[in-house]
């Protein structure tokens, strides 16, 4: 029975890959795709070889195409269940990263002003980057304009509002560096 489930899972992942390629998602090799959601702007997404997107991952792209990927996930990166990546300008996730479940990664927010509804203002966007070999814990929010340096670990439940250097562990709301990784 276990073998049948594994074969079914592998076949379903391949069919999803073919489906999203046909819609315009660029894949640089085989990717492991569970029941993910990419509602629109498929051509603005690039997935590196070996990328794994678990059940419930959502890749949201808004705005006009820029001729380059708005969401780029580099090789061998794993994104756990129910994470949302929400791009209007540019979100780049480096190679060999691990992103925990229920995370939210964005490159924009809404401009708010007196007397207007929260969603009525224009989007304000700034590129968000996660460099290679980072580990992002469960329930982490990463906001616009942030760069997380190579090899950095962000603890579960953190809210990253400012860039973090390479090789540190950061936790909290807002995320603060608690130590260097040696």
Active-site residues, by number, are: 110
Please answer whether residues 57 and 83 qualify as being in contact, where contact means their C-beta atoms are separated by less than 8 angstroms.
yes
Q: Which string of DSSP letters, residue by residue, matches 39-101?
A: -S-GGGEEE-TT-EE-TT-EEEE-SS--SS-SEEE-TT-EE-TT-EEEESS-EEE-TT-EE-T
Which residues, other chains included, contact 98 with Cβ-Cβ below 8 Å and sequence gap of 6+? 77, 78, 80, 134, 135, 136
Start-to-end CA span in the chain (Å): 45
126 CA to centre of own chain: 15
Which residues, other chains included, contact 17 with Cβ-Cβ below 8 Å and sequence gap of 6+? 27, 30, 31, 33
Please answer whether residues 77 and 96 qualify as being in contact, where contact means their C-beta atoms are separated by less than 8 angstroms.
yes
């Amino acid at each position: 029975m276990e073998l049948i489930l594994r074969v079914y899972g592998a076949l379903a992942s391949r069919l999803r890959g073919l489906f999203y390629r046909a819609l315009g998602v660029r894949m640089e090799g085989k990717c492991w795709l569970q029941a993910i959601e990419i509602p629109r702007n498929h051509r603005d997404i690039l997935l590196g070889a070996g990328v794994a997107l678990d059940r419930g991952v959502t890749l949201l792209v808004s705005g006009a195409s820029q001729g380059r990927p708005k969401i780029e996930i580099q090789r061998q990166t794993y994104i756990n269940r129910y994470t949302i990546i929400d791009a209007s300008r540019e979100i780049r996730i480096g190679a060999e990263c691990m992103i925990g479940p229920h995370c939210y990664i964005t490159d924009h927010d809404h401009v708010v002003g007196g007397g207007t509804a929260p969603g009525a203002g224009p989007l304000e966007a700034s590129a968000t980057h996660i460099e290679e070999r980072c580990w992002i814990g469960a329930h982490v929010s990463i906001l616009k304009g942030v760069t997380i340096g190579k090899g950095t670990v962000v603890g579960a439940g953190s809210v990253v509002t400012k860039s973090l250097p390479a090789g540190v562990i950061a936790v909290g709301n807002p995320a603060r560096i608690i130590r260097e990784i040696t």
